[in-house]
Amino acid sequence: MSATTPTTLDRLGLDALWAQTRGDPTIKVAILDGPVDLDHPSLAGAKLTRHPTMVDEPASAGGVMSNHGTHVTSVVFGQPGGPVTGLAPGCEGLILPVFSDRRPGLSQLDLSRAIRKALDLGAHVINISGGQPSEDGGSVDILAQAVALCREHNVLVVAAAGNDGCACLHSPAALPTVLAVGALDREGQPLAASNWGAVYREQGLLAPGVEIEGAVAGGGTERATGTSFATPIVSGVAALLLSHQVQAGLPADPQAVRAALLASARACTPSTELDSGQCLAGILDPAGALAMLQGTNQPMKQPTSAPSTSASLARPSGCGCDLDPSRTDADDDGVDEYDDLAPNGAAIRPSRLPGASQRIYALGVLGYDFGTEARRDTYKQLMPAVTIDGVTVPANPYDARQMVDYLGDNLSEARSLIWTLNLELTPVYALEPVGSFARDIYANLHHMLDGQIQPETNDGYIERVSIPGRLSDRTVRLFSGQIVPVVEVEQPRGLYGWNVNALRESAIAAVKDRQPEADEADARRSLSSFLNKVYYELRNLGQTSQERAMNFAATNAFQAATAFSDAVGGGMELDNIEVKRSPFCRMDSDCWDVILSFFDADNILRARKLFRFTIDVSDAVPVTMGEVRSWSSR
């Protein structure tokens, strides 16, 4: 840091680590924050690259989130001789803006997208100076899955503990395997506003967090306080430790660095008016962590187990320079699972095949959007008026029934809509038919939208859809202002509408053929349980090989009904779906074994039924390989 750095940083003992390295250019630290002023003098010469995210705006002078992102970035990457010198100026920075000056908050869905993007870009450390209060430290499934992928791929997530000044948790900081960061005051005591809690005592560190100097958008510097600015200090130290490993000829091992940081944390003795839990696991000790990695100290603690997927959300915590814990969520739409986050304060390679990371096979509900008022009004003028109870009224383009009827006569107009794939009420992708079969794909989308608006008792009712496609580098802004990535749909093959009534009857018939004595009501309940388990409990973005295999398994479930009819016909319930890399696969393929586990809810002593089938996800549309295998297990 600069010559006027607070004395709390001096007491960290960075000299021993800085004497070894100021950062290796092969170590990548992703900054998930506000837009960053890459032209700031402190960052001149830094190896920083901004990558496309849902936030497409440039950094703006005076912008709250731009200042926040620029400040956090400079704490890690500020160049020697500039206004602010960072902790690891020699490392590479991946800038992925997630907070916007134009709108408050961030959905956990978009945060999970940014985490996955950082993974794809090869990040070793992901810095998140933000979070959202969570009663039990959990998050929505999609965010928990993204953090779990980081652990699987040996990537360290460092996140702010929050500035509510209570024994309360924030997500993602409280998710297992994340390294949570609280703040120290000038005297080396826990900052009164820094959060604490039982989870943080196992996976949290305290680092200087008062008047941390950093760059601001448009030039100049400022001092800011809070866990937001303690977090990049820990990320910077982690980057230095990884750089030391690489420069010593060892592979970068982020999880080993995490364990060393926690195991080497210095003891903290809080003043009498503070809760002992406010010390978390201890105070960041760079020299101790370095010694531990060099093998001159005690064995490291083991990393925490895999993350929970519970969903519990509450208010944002405010940025590090604003310790007001009041709610600032402007969304508040009742859809809790996609509520807002506000800023607060040998390496395992991905399992996907080269180039396969762009493929998706996702489940959801089809929707459409206009993007602008002008586009919406165009449809309103083109669509014919409707007569309701003898009264003729102008067309309503938001009425899906009217839109379906209009597109039935004017299918070419489907091209001017923004088709979306939604999880519940939240759009996750914009769907763009491309190529020679674009018209056929639009016809399929029209057909599936028609099925979705039918009564549930209708034979043509479609509950949800399966979409194969390719994730592009483009985004589109919806009418609400939300930005979503564009998925190119290249062929109608694989587009699938879940006509649950027809499929359920077909599956029941298959069960009855094999087990005439099977109870039809039990079989129906078992099949419904299967679908709900996949869609609601295991919902995902359909991007990784595992997710695509799982989603195709759900889509293909009714075709496999004859295989697991013993379980369905007996009224057994689906307990778990597990996806593992298959030990057997064709050359140049990407094969995964999906294991379905069924149990008898009325008789827990009854043996479980397990079914395994292999899915190859190397093509745009996954395919089942071989026969379904089954066995019993207690």
The catalytic site residues sit at 33, 68, 228
Measured CA to CA, the distance from residue 62 to residue 99 in angstroms comes to 14
Q: Which two tokens stand for residue 588?
A: 């140049």
Count of CB atoms within 10 A of residue 607's CB? 12
Across the strands, what pairs with 131? Answer: 342
Q: Give the separation between CA 17 and CA 259, rounded to whole angstroms.
A: 17
CA distance 74 to 542: 35
Catalogue the E-assigned strands of 415-530.
418-423, 426-433, 465-477, 483-489, 496-497
Q: How far apart are CA 103 and CA 65, in angstroms?
A: 10
Instruction: Give, as one character, the DSSP assignment of residue 616.
Output: E
Residue 614: strand pairing partners: 593, 625
**Would you state the structure tokens that stand for residue 251, as one six-digit string?**
């592979």
Spatial separation of the C-alpha atoms in residues 448 and 108, rounded to whole Å: 28
Residue 356: φ, ψ to 5°? -80, -15
DSSP string, 67-126: HHHHHHHHHHHPPTTSSS--S-TTSEEEEEE-S-SSSS-EEHHHHHHHHHHHHHTT-SEE
Q: Please give the distance of CA 171 from its chain centroid, rounded to a whole number.
A: 12
SS3 content of the chain, % helix, strand, coil (to 5): 30, 25, 45
Asked if residue 231 lies in contact with residue 216, where contact means CB atoms within 8 angstroms, the answer is: no
Q: Which of 116-142 are b and which e, b meaning 16 or more Cβ less than 10 Å from the residue's Cβ?
A: bbbbeebbbbbbbbbbbbbeebbbbbb
User: Is residue 296 within 8 Å of 195, Cβ to Cβ?
Assistant: no
Instruction: Tell me which DSSP letter residue 338 carries.
Output: G
Q: Find the angle CA(318)-CA(126)-CA(327) to the nearest 5 degrees.
A: 15
The 10 Å Cβ neighbour count of residue 264 is 24
Q: How far is Cα 129 from Cα 114, in angstroms, rounded to an integer?
A: 13
CA-nearest of 73, 280, 270 to 173 is 280
Angle between helices 400-409 and 438-452 (to 10 degrees): 150
- Record the tokens describing residue 235, joined without a space: 């990320």
Alpha helices by DSSP H, 359-480: 373-382, 400-409, 438-452
Q: How far is CA 204 from CA 32, 65, 238, 283, 299, in A?
A: 19, 25, 14, 9, 18
Check if the beta carbon of residue 578 is closer than 8 Å to that of residue 548.
no
